Amino acid sequence: MAIWADPSQPSRYPATAYAILTAYLVVAALHATMTWNNWWLENAIARVAHLVDILLFGVMVFLTDGYTSPFFTFSVFIILSATIKWSERETAQAAAAVIILFFAVGFAAIQWGSASFEITRLMVRGTYLMVLSLILVWFAINQRSVRWRSARGPGLDPLTDAGLPIAAGLHYVAERIGAGRVALIWWHEDEPWLHLALRDHGAVIEERHRPDRFGDLVNNALAGSIFLFDRGRQRALVCEAGVIVRRHMAQALDPELAARLDRDKGLVIPIEAEPYCGMFIAMDVPGLCADDARIGEQLGREFSAALRRASMLGLAEQEAVSRTRLALARDLHDSIVQLLTGTALRLEGIRQSACSGRPIEAEIEALQTELATEQGGLRSLIGQLRDGSTGLGSKPLHESLEALLERSSRQWNVRCDLSRCPPELVVAAEIEHQLNQLVREAVANAARHGGATVVSVAVDSADSGLTLTIADDGNGFPVGEQVDEGSEANPWSLNERARELGGSLSLASSGAGSTVTILLPWRAR
pLDDT single digits (tens) 41-69? 777 778 888 888 888 888 887 777 776 77
Residue 525: pLDDT band (50, 70, 90) is: very low
Is 177:282 a contact under the CB 8 Å cutoff?
yes
CA distance 420 to 502: 23
> What's phi and psi for 291, nearest 5 deg?
-60, -30
E strand residue ranges, 296-402: none
CB atoms within 10 A of CB 283: 22
| 150 has a pLDDT exceeding 60 | no
Q: Would you say residue 412 has pLDDT above 90?
A: no
The whole model's pTM is what? 0.52
Confidence grade of residue 212 (pLDDT, cut at 50, 70, 90): confident
Highest-confidence segment of 143-157, 195-209, 360-374: 195-209
Question: Residues 74-95: pLDDT tens digits?
Answer: 788 888 877 777 667 777 888 8
How far is 17 from 439, CA to CA, in rounded Å? 100
Distance, CA of 122 to CA of 107 (rounded, Å): 10
Q: Is the pLDDT of residue 462 over 80?
A: yes
Quick check: 225 and 270 in contact, CB under 8 A?
Answer: yes
* pLDDT-derived band at 490, boundaries 50, 70, 90: low
Q: How far is CA 423 from CA 400, 418, 420, 432, 467, in A?
A: 11, 12, 9, 14, 15
**Which of 266-275, 316-325, 433-442 has the lowest average pLDDT?**
316-325
Average pLDDT over residues 467-484: 72
Q: Starting from the edge strand earliest in sequence, which strands make up the sheet with 226-230, in order?
A: 203-209, 194-200, 181-188, 276-283, 265-273, 226-230, 235-240, 243-248
What's residue 517's pLDDT?
Answer: 92
pLDDT higher than threshold 70 for residue 117 = no
Per-residue pLDDT, 56: 84
Residue 312 identity: M
pLDDT at 154 over 60: no
Q: Name the pairing type of β-strands 454-461 and 415-420.
A: parallel
* Encoded amino acid at 467, one letter: T
> What is residue 266's predicted lDDT score, i.e. its pLDDT?
92
Phi, psi dihedral angles at 449 (to 5 degrees)? -100, -25
Average predicted confidence (pLDDT) for the chain: 79
Residue 501's nearest CA partner among 408, 416, 403, 435 is 435
The answer, yes or no, to whether residue 124 has pLDDT greater than 80, is: no
Angle, nearest 10°, between helix axes 492-500 and 429-448?
160
In the predicted structure, residue 486 carries a pLDDT above the cut 70: no
pLDDT tens digit string along 170-181? 998 998 888 999
pLDDT tens, position by position, 351-406: 888 888 888 888 787 777 777 777 776 776 677 666 655 555 568 899 989 988 98
Q: Of 251-255, 322-326, 481-485, give the lowest mean pLDDT range.
A: 481-485
Residues 441, 491 contacting (CB under 8 angstroms) = yes
What separation in angstroms does the CA of 9 have from each of 4, 6, 64, 113?
Answer: 11, 5, 11, 10
- Is residue 156 very low, low, confident or very high in pLDDT (cuts 50, 70, 90)? low
Tell me the pLDDT tens digit for each residue of 241-282. 767 888 888 788 888 998 899 998 999 999 988 888 899 999
- Contact between 392 and 426 under an 8 Å Cβ cutoff? The reply is yes
Residues 6+ apart with CB under 8 A from 269: 173, 226, 279, 280, 281, 282, 296, 297, 299, 300
